A and B are shown apart, each in its own frame.
Chain A
Amino acid sequence: LMTQSPATLSVSPGKRATLYCRASHSVSPNLAWYQQKPGQAPRLLIHGASTRATGIPARFTAGGSGTDFTLTISSLQPEDFAVYYCQQYNNWPHTFGQGTKVEI
């Protein structure tokens, strides 16, 4: 079971946002983060708990180990307002968190 918090995060543009993801048992380092904008497919941001995917800006950083993980967006840009999902791929079935909506 993957639990994300908070469910909704209200942040002003230019400010920092930190999202949390907790697993019910250790999944390290097999944790990914995805971004989904309205009407679009998800997009890979982070894999291996902390490795940015190709083309992902450096303002997205992630870390954590064991059961607790974070995704930080250092200075929110207008295009960053979206829903973010974590997913563990350490065990079958791969499971997603319920998502965190980052809103203005």
Chain B
Amino acid sequence: DVQLVQSGAEVKRPGESLKISCEGSGYNLTTHWIGWVRQMPGKGLEWMGIIYPGDSDTRYNPSFQGQVTISADTSMSTAYLQWSSLKASDTAIYYCARYITYYRYYYFHYIDVWGGGTTVTVSS
């Protein structure tokens, strides 16, 4: 069974740094794109970005570019999302998600498996 297990809830102060994780099991992390989705309290889903752990190719939503860093460690079968300086507006649930890739003139990728989410609370 493919599973994505995310790290636990975090409570941080504004200005602090944070790195949350998403460990994949039941499949080879290097062969699937993996990404992150934000859900602010009571709101919808926002696509943040995606990484191909096999070669670290990374694509960001311009809305999140420069605000977060997506990375992966294939030896740990784990993807990461990190902030260098948190803001109160970063308070949200963050989901990691595995992608399936298919080719039809170009490569396209859709989410097939979701992690359980990591709740991040940033408050002074």
Partners in one complex: yes
Q: Which residues on A are within 8 Å of B, measured CB to CB?
A: 30, 32, 34, 36, 41-44, 47-48, 53, 85, 87, 89-90, 92-99
With both chains docked as a complex, state the minimum distance between the C-beta of B47 and any C-beta of chain A, in angstroms.
Answer: 5
Known: A42-B45, A42-B95, A98-B44. A89 touches B61 (CB 8 A): no
A43 touches B61 (CB 8 A): no
| A96/B46 contact (C-beta < 8 A), A41-B95, A41-B117, A42-B95 known | yes
Interface residue tally for chain B (C-beta within 8 Å): 24
Q: How many inter-chain residue pairs (CB < 8 Å) link A and B? A: 59
Name B's A-contacting residues (CB within 8 A).
37, 44-47, 49-50, 59-63, 95, 100, 108-117
CA distance A95 to B45 in the complex (A): 9
The residue from B45, B60, B62 contacting A96, defined by CB atoms under 8 A apart: B45
Contact of A30 among B44, B62, B110, B115 (CB under 8 A): B110
- In the complex, the answer to whether A85 meets B45 with C-beta atoms within 8 Å is yes
- Complex: chain A residue closest to B112, CB-CB: A44
Flag if A89 contacts B110 (CB, 8 Å).
yes
What is the distance, in angstroms, from B22's C-beta to the closest C-beta of chain A? 12
B95→A89 contact, CB < 8 A:
no
Contact (Cβ within 8 A) B108 A89: yes
